[in-house]
Amino acid sequence: MPKKLSERCQVFRAKALKATVKPETHRGYAAKVREIGDPTYEGFLEFARKRTEEPGQKLAASTLRTYKSALVHIRKVAGYPMSQEENDDLDEVITGIQCSEQPRAKRGPVDEDKLADLVAAAHASGEHDIGFGMVVMYGITCRPRDLGEMIPARVDLKENTVWVRRKASARMIAKDGVWEAHPITTEGAKIILAKQIKKTSSSKGLLFPGWRAAKARNIVHQVAKAKGWDPKLVWDGTHGLRHGAAHDILREALEQVRTAGGWKTKGSAAHYSRLGRQGPPQ
């Protein structure tokens, strides 16, 4: 970047660079840089040292990489970008930290049986919107935040579709739009959505006003412990519903492939379903 810019160009440049991420992301990045303290190459190294070596301060390498991304972005917007050499070196440092970490446990997928346990626990504790929301979350393979934002205007029962906010970079959202369509894949989700729409007085009213991600997360923790779900897996919240739904859909699809091809195992079906390498565009 040129060392001297007019004030108007500085303002224009900062505004354009801020727009490369969503406003909430920029605010989050700014908060992370304040946490780092010294926004320099050496300052980040000292921050990383503390957060990996000092008791009670530990952060995973993946989290440190987010802090580093925040630092790079905020410095660039402010007009004093980090050098490519420093940028690359910090990437290598974080990779080294990651290589020394223990493998992370995998998140546990919530299948239909586990979903039933969660829904029963939610209703038993009076958290009916959470119980209904879990059924819908599994049935449309959405994210936890989508339940708290869902309104009738974004549900099309005739087309069997729910529109939810896309999770992507500001650049991809500008290209593909804010909303993405999720098909309704279970009858239970469709029934609940229809009932909630009838109960909601406005097309912009929340379908699940009682949905609270933190409460839903606690229900998952409690049920996983009480039911003795596989302790080698992480049952850290309702994201397991999204994983479980995807897992179950894939299993059903592979069973259809196995039957169609006459293979004895789903492993063979998965092998024959792999897409071949495509050549360069002509």
Q: What is the pLDDT along the chain (282 residues), one digit of tens a residue?
A: 556 888 899 999 999 999 999 999 999 999 999 999 999 999 999 999 999 998 888 999 999 999 999 999 999 999 999 999 999 999 999 999 999 998 888 889 999 999 999 999 999 999 999 999 999 999 999 999 999 999 999 999 999 999 999 988 888 888 989 999 999 999 999 999 999 999 998 889 999 999 999 999 999 999 999 999 999 999 989 999 998 888 888 878 778 878 887 877 777 767 776 655 443 333
Buried b (16+ CB within 10 A) or exposed e, 258-282: beeeebeebeebeeeeeeeeeeeee
Residue 277: its pLDDT value, please?
A: 44
Residue 252: its pLDDT value, please?
A: 80
Q: Where in the chain is the domain with CATH 1.10.443.10?
A: 112-259
Note the pTM of the prediction, 2 decimals: 0.78
**Cβ pair 239, 227 in contact under 8 A:** no
Residue 228: its pLDDT value, please?
A: 96
Domain 112-259 sits in CATH at 1.10.443.10
Concatenated DSSP letters of the chain: --S---HHHHHHHHHHHHTTS-HHHHHHHHHHHHHH-S-SHHHHHHHHHHHHHSTT----HHHHHHHHHHHHHHHHHHT-PPPHHHHHHHHHHHHHHHHTSPPPPPBPP--HHHHHHHHHHHHHTT-HHHHHHHHHHHHHT--HHHHHH--GGGEETTTTEEEEE--S-HHHHHHH-SEEEEE---HHHHHHHHHHHHH-SSTTS-S-TT--HHHHHHHHHHHHHHHT--TTSB--STHHHHHHHHHHHHHHHHHHHHHHHT-SSHHHHHHHHPPPPP----
Residue 243: its pLDDT value, please?
A: 87
